[in-house]
């Protein structure tokens, strides 16, 4: 009899532990909401929602104020339409902005609300266009790699200038030799000794 009571208590503790683990798993996956059924729904449009999923949290200042109810695609604007199920306890001005954020570096994505200053609050059926899309890590890496490739393939202005300067100074070294040849030829035409004329012109060029 005593043995059976111990087995019953052990079974109860195991069931409670399993229920607690299930609850934590649902909470971590944004699959469980303890808020009441009352609230209001608004819609927001985003160019890119990244990894946002239904049941994702809607937060303001780190506090969960709603959940993502559904995500659809608008084939007229070619944007994602996200329906938010907001807690009726929290109201925000209609000029507030939404942006998709990430918990940590590679955590779950959620919608953050930056409250505005209008005296009129959101109400059921409002459509929010003041939004900021998700930052996709793959796009950032691609842009970084492209910028580095462009920098590596573009020559610097200093090297081009140095090459042009060297090319411009090369004819200057050949100028004395051309002068010697011209003076030697003129000496030959005038009847003087060509060797002496060439030697005289060379000594003048050296000086």
The pLDDT tens digits of the residues spanning 163-206 come to 445 544 544 444 444 444 454 445 444 444 444 444 454 444 44
* Residue that is written with structure tokens 């970084």 in the block: 144
42-46 mean pLDDT: 94
Instruction: Between 102 and 28, name the one with better pLDDT.
Output: 102
pLDDT at 70: 94
Radius of gyration, alpha carbons of the chain: 41
pLDDT at 166: 53
Instruction: Between 156 and 144, name the one with better pLDDT.
Output: 144
**Cα atoms in the Cβ-side hemisphere of radius 13 Å centred on 152:** 6
Q: Is the pTM of this model over 0.75?
A: no
Give the whole-angstrom CA distance, residue 65 versus residue 108.
Answer: 17
């Amino acid at each position: 009899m005593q043995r059976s009571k111990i087995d019953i208590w052990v079974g109860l503790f195991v069931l409670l532990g399993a229920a607690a683990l299930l609850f934590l798993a649902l909470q971590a996956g944004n699959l469980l909401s303890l808020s009441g059924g009352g609230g209001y729904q608004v819609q927001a449009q985003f160019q890119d929602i990244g990894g946002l999923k239904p049941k994702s949290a809607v937060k303001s200042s780190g506090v969960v104020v709603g959940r993502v109810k559904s995500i659809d695609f608008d084939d007229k604007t070619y944007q994602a339409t996200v329906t938010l199920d907001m807690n009726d306890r929290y109201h925000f001005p209609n000029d507030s902005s939404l942006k998709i954020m990430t918990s940590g570096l590679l955590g779950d994505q959620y919608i953050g609300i930056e409250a505005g200053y209008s005296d009129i609050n959101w109400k059921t059926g409002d459509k929010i266009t003041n939004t900021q899309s998700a930052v996709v890590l793959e796009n950032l890496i691609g842009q970084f790699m492209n910028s580095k490739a462009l920098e590596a393939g573009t020559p610097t202005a200093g090297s081009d200038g140095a090459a042009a300067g060297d090319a411009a100074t090369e004819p200057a070294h050949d100028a004395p030799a051309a002068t010697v040849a011209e003076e030697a030829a003129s000496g030959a035409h005038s009847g003087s000794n060509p060797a002496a004329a060439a030697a005289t012109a060379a000594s003048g060029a050296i000086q």
